[in-house]
Amino acid sequence: MQQAVIFVRVSKKEQDYQRQLEDLRSLALSQAVQVVAEISEKISGARTNQERDGIQELLRLSRTRAIQKVLVCEVSRLGRSTVEVLQVVDELTQLGVSIYVQNFGIETLRNGKRNPVAQFLFTLLAEFARLERETLRERILSGMDEARRQGKKIGRPDGTTEGKAAFLKKYASVVRNLRAGLSVRKTAKLCDVSINTVRKVNEYVLLKP
């Protein structure tokens, strides 16, 4: 029996990935594979795969030959860009790990060999997902430009600039973890903040008074 990982991601903290998990658990039963791990992320799709603990754990399990299959709902769960998705697909393929994408019913390996149709579809789907994000970003920027033309204030209100002391007080737990020697990534995970926020705190902490 093949060992498999269920991999799910949502991009907002208020979103729930329970439906994805339930769907993929049912899929695992139908394919008679043994689920040895469930990896779930609540992280923005704009984060690189290097910043995603879930993707890194998936790659670790694949490299140690602990799994032979990955189950995902959509190809966009595997990366923010076409290049990142294809990098994951290529590495897992080289390691003999097949990826099954539920919403299209496609799999990267057939009897241990590359499925060229899946490779082609992965490229297309990843590119469509990237274009969709770019379109959304352009719409947001266009809306901000229109608001400025109408004289509306964009960003932090005047007079509310956050000083260094107030910022460090706000993220006191981040400061403690950094001073204790924890890495930026570990601190971000423990304190449930973005890596960029931790980096900004770290810059302030390293600055001499």
The domain in which residue 21 lies consists of 3-127
- Per the domain annotation, does 145 fall within a domain? no
Helix axes 172-179, 184-191, angle to 10 degrees: 140
What SS3 string covers 62-90? HHCCCCCEEEECCHHHHCCCHHHHHHHHH
Q: What is the mean pLDDT of each run of 10 residues along the chain (209 residues)?
A: 91 70 93 93 71 89 95 85 82 93 89 82 72 74 77 58 73 85 83 83 68
Residues 17 and 120 in one domain: yes
Residues 21 and 74 in one domain: yes
- Per the domain annotation, does 157 fall within a domain? no
Domain count along the chain: 2
pLDDT of the residue at 46: 60
Neighbours of 50 (CB within 10 A): 10
Residue where one domain finishes, among candidates 127, 155, 177:
127
pTM over 0.95: no
- Per the domain annotation, does 44 fall within a domain? yes
Residues 113 and 32 in one domain: yes
Q: Which long-range contacts (CB under 8 A, 24 or more apart) does 100-109 make?
A: 100/27, 100/31, 100/69, 100/70, 100/71, 100/72, 101/72, 101/73, 101/74, 101/75, 101/125, 102/23, 102/24, 102/27, 102/71, 102/72, 102/73, 102/74, 103/73, 103/74, 104/75
87 and 62 in contact (C-beta within 8 Å)?
no
